């Protein structure tokens, strides 16, 4: 996670703009220039837009995304530990969902739903298997 005071705008090409409706929705939920992953997800769902569109608007407003629903990042860093064991079915499902040897955040969420596990449990399995989760649906990582 970037340090306070750094510009998140610089991640995007000059001239990138955020939709006014997204900015307005974010202004209703932002607290101390921070937006939780769950709140950003809800904005995307309520507006019927991709999460990355919300993530870009968050960056352009120079807000910080906090409390990743997978536990990958938060205000105090990574918030997950490796699972002590991973069932072979879970491991196979994760490995079959990899893209370029990484598990996209979106695929992690889909697996959690499909396997009836929490998102953090999928992330813990990935930690145990030494599989990186990337990219983030909001563009944070």
Dump pLDDT digits (tens) for 65-118: 999 999 998 777 777 899 999 999 999 999 999 999 999 999 999 999 999 999
pLDDT band with cut points at 50, 70 and 90 for residue 6: low
Comparing CA positions, the residue from 12, 10, 31, 35 lying closest to residue 22 is 35
| pTM of the predicted structure, to 2 decimals | 0.88
Burial (Cβ within 10 Å: 0-12, 13-18, ≥19) of residue 31: exposed
């Amino acid at each position: 996670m970037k340090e306070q005071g750094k510009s998140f705008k610089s991640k995007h090409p000059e001239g990138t703009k955020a939709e006014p409706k997204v900015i307005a929705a974010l202004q209703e939920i932002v607290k101390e220039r921070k937006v939780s992953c769950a709140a950003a997800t809800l904005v995307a769902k309520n507006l019927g837009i991709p999460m990355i569109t919300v993530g870009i608007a968050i960056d352009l407003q120079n807000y910080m995304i906090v409390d990743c629903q997978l536990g990958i990042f938060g205000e105090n860093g990574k918030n997950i530990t490796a699972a002590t064991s991973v069932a072979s079915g879970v491991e196979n499902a994760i490995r079959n969902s990899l893209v370029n040897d990484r598990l996209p955040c979106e695929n992690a969420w889909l697996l959690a739903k499909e396997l009836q596990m929490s998102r953090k449990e999928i992330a813990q399995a990935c930690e145990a298997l030494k599989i990186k989760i990337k990219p983030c649906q909001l563009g944070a990582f």
